[in-house]
Structure 1
Amino acid sequence: MMFSKIFQTDNSNTTIIIRLMVGAVFISEGMQKFLFANKLGAGRFAKIGLPNPDFLGTFVGSFEIVCGTLVLIGLFTRLAAMPLLTIMLVAIATTKAQLLADNGFWSMLHDSRTDWSMLLGSIFLIIKGGGNWSLDKKIANQKWK
């Protein structure tokens, strides 16, 4: 019965809009960590002082691609959104706090608008699930009628 809660979701048809936004952005960002590793992957992690930047670049990029894809198709949506939420919390703490200190509140808000959108989108998906047009919904309807 606990397994059925993983697939539970609301009946909203519009949740797909949030899934498309969150999933597409995370897939894109994850791929860029591999395509442009020096600037957006390991190199960026080294620049901000995170330990083991080569490992972290691969680890985070892989999670963004896999979890972003799961969110996009609406499979294990709640579970997939949890690591994405964690990634965004770490990103905001490690990069945007310094922007706040260096450039002020409004500049930090401007430079972090995507981060906040992905953070709030992930929270939304954890709360609501994948919505009516998701694989989660199809699985829940088939297994636990």
Structure 2
Amino acid sequence: MFKKLIHTDNSKTTIIIRLIVGVVFLSEGIQKFLFPALRGAGRFEKIGLPSPEFLGSFVGLLEIFCGILIILGLLTRLASIPFIIIMIVAFAATKSEVYLEKGFWEMMHGSRTDWAMLLGSVFLLIKGGGFWSVDKTLFKNRA
């Protein structure tokens, strides 16, 4: 089971997607603690999510921890799953209102980063960490 979880291919370009996804989520997680009223609990309360204090901290920690894992390429597939869930919730909680108020194109414009993070996370779930990853190193040593 662990072998399947960390198995990855020899792609040397996967690191680009790992860095994009990992750095963005790591940064967003840190900002949830630096600017809680704007990016953390305050934002979660504004969009109507339950338990905004808990959820803001929980999501922030998850983004920091999984962002670091993705950057390192450690348990890449597993670490991408919370990001997929976070992005689906973000779409549902924030973009549906934009769509209803301002229309399809405004929603698409406002969600370009969300799409990039969602699809980058799905890519990492499918492909794994790539050649330059801790996953690849672990797989070589266990093979």
- Per the TM superposition, whether the score is higher than 0.5 is yes
Listed as ranges, the matches of 1:46-125 within 5 Å are 46-125=45-124
| TM-score normalised by length of structure 1 | 0.97
User: What is the TM-score of this pair, normalised by structure 2?
Assistant: 0.99
For the residues of structure 2 that align with 1:10 and 1:95, how far apart are their CA atoms? Answer: 35
Off by >3 Å, runs of 4+ in structure 1: none
SS at match of 2:11: coil
Q: How far apart are the structure 1 equivalents of 2:99 and 2:67? A: 28
Q: Which runs of 5+ in 2 are unaligned?
A: none
Question: When the two structures are aligned, how many residues end up with a matched partner?
Answer: 143
The offset of 1:91, in angstroms, is: 0.5
Aligned 1:11-22 pairs, distance under 5 A: 11-22=10-21
Structure 2 distance, partners of 1:124, 1:74, is 13
Offset at 1:130? 0.3
- Structure 1 partner of 2:138: 139
Identity among equivalent positions (%) equals 62
